[in-house]
Amino acid sequence: MLRIRHKAEGKPGALLAERVDRPEPAAGELLVRVGAIGVTLPTVRKLWERGDGPVALGGEIAGEVVALGPGVEDFALGEHVTGLCFADAYAEFAVLSTAMASRVPAGVTAVDAVAVVRSGLVALGAYEAARPQLHESVLVTAAASGVGVMALQYARALGAGRVVAAVSSRAKVDFVRWMGADEVVRYADADWGGPYDVILDGVGGDLLAPAVRCLAPGGRLVAFSSGGGAVEAHELLLRGASLIGFQMRAVAAGQPERHARWQRELWQLYGAGTLRPAVHAQIPLSQAARAHALVERRRNLGKVVLVP
């Protein structure tokens, strides 16, 4: 089968295509014939920013179960599943932990499933972490990203008041409006239209401090980006505001029942038409580098998907 990995040597981010045997699922794992793979910003960033050795490429996958690891009883051969795969997701066959897997409802394509599953779970989890009240104002940064478009739709559907999208470029404005934003601001704008009760921040870094300054009294900022960043405690206490960290992997490992509830809610909302998948491009797996370049250059409107 075809598998793409990061090259240990060479320029940062360079990818290596190999022909290898299919992996074997271990206890608690499924072997999946992969129909689609989601490109994620954390994976792309790791390769470009570290670039110091081989990095296993993770991402959402969706496809058909073709083998079960020892002891797996809650999934069956032939079922269609999706979930986040932390290593060697860029392959024709990949191993998925049952803890991360959810069944794909009938009629949902593999491409739509990867556009919805991880992004939707992160957006749902981050929004819940903010403890939103009805009619509160919400700002979503990186609003055109895979997670961002799901966050806009959740906020809209779950009773937010004003939903504002923040993006880097003018080229994303119409898209995020179409995905549910009432208003759009750009990071370079002097005024971000605050104050906001809730901020869902998928950018971090230098944007974190100005975002905190946009919080309303009692406001909550959920930091879920891979971008780091620092905040002055004084900016929080001035507003009685809170900064809340969120990582889906930690919830999946530490609170599996909460993770399972989000999976159920995600597919219910999808089935009800509340969540629309947004796919920027479907790119052959063999051209993964092209897909990475799109995300690295911040050009994508929604999810970039690789197709084996």
Ligand X SMILES: NC(=O)c1ccc[n+]([C@@H]2O[C@H](COP(=O)([O-])OP(=O)(O)OC[C@H]3O[C@@H](n4cnc5c(N)ncnc54)[C@H](OP(=O)(O)O)[C@@H]3O)[C@@H](O)[C@H]2O)c1
Q: Of 19-48, which residues contact ligand X (CB under 6 A)? A: 40-42
Q: Of 208-227, which residues contact ligand X (CB under 6 A)? A: 224-227
Burial 288-299 (b: 16+ CB within 10 A, else e): beebbebbbeee
Task: Give the single-character DSSP code of 284.
Answer: E
Nearer to ligand X, 68 or 123 (CB): 123
Name which position in 145, 173, 184, 288 contacts ligand X (CB under 6 A).
Answer: 145
Interaction of residue 61 with ligand X, rule CB under 6 A: no
Token couple for 242: 């809170």
Phi-psi region of 18 (alpha: psi -120 to 50; beta: other; left: phi over 0): beta
Q: Which stretch in 8-16, 26-34, 167-175, 235-243 sits in contact with ligand X by CB under 6 A?
A: 167-175
Token couple for 84: 């986040």
Nearer to ligand X, 31 or 150 (CB): 150
Peptide bond into 308 cis (omega under 30): no
Amino acid letter, residue 211: A
Interaction of residue 90 with ligand X, rule CB under 6 A: no
- Supply the minimum distance, in Å, between the C-beta of residue 78 and ligand X: 29
Interaction of residue 123 with ligand X, rule CB under 6 A: no
| 3 state SS for 212-231 | HCCEEEEEEEEECCCCCCCC
- Supply the minimum distance, in Å, between the C-beta of residue 217 and ligand X: 26
Interaction of residue 119 with ligand X, rule CB under 6 A: yes
- Supply the minimum distance, in Å, between the C-beta of residue 173 and ligand X: 10
Site map (CB under 6 A) of ligand X, residues 169-198, x = contact: ---x--------------------------
Name which position in 96, 203, 214, 291 contacts ligand X (CB under 6 A).
Answer: 203
Token couple for 62: 């969706």
- Supply the minimum distance, in Å, between the C-beta of residue 68 and ligand X: 27
Interaction of residue 168 with ligand X, rule CB under 6 A: yes
Q: Report d(CA 100, CA 90) in Å as an integer.
A: 17
Nearer to ligand X, 41 or 68 (CB): 41
Q: Number of helices and strands (H, E) in the chain?
A: 9, 15
C-beta of residue 103 within 8 angstroms of C-beta of residue 64 = no
Interaction of residue 167 with ligand X, rule CB under 6 A: yes
Q: Report d(CA 245, CA 259) in Å as an integer.
A: 16
- Compute the residue count for the chain: 308
Three-state DSSP class for 249?
Answer: helix
Interaction of residue 142 with ligand X, rule CB under 6 A: yes
How much of the chain is in helix, strand and coil states, percent to nearest 5? Answer: 30, 30, 40
- Supply the minimum distance, in Å, between the C-beta of residue 191 and ligand X: 18
- Supply the minimum distance, in Å, between the C-beta of residue 19 and ligand X: 28
Residues found near ligand X in the complex (CB under 6 A): 40-42, 119, 122, 142, 144-147, 167-168, 172, 202-203, 224-227, 246-249, 295, 298, 300, 303
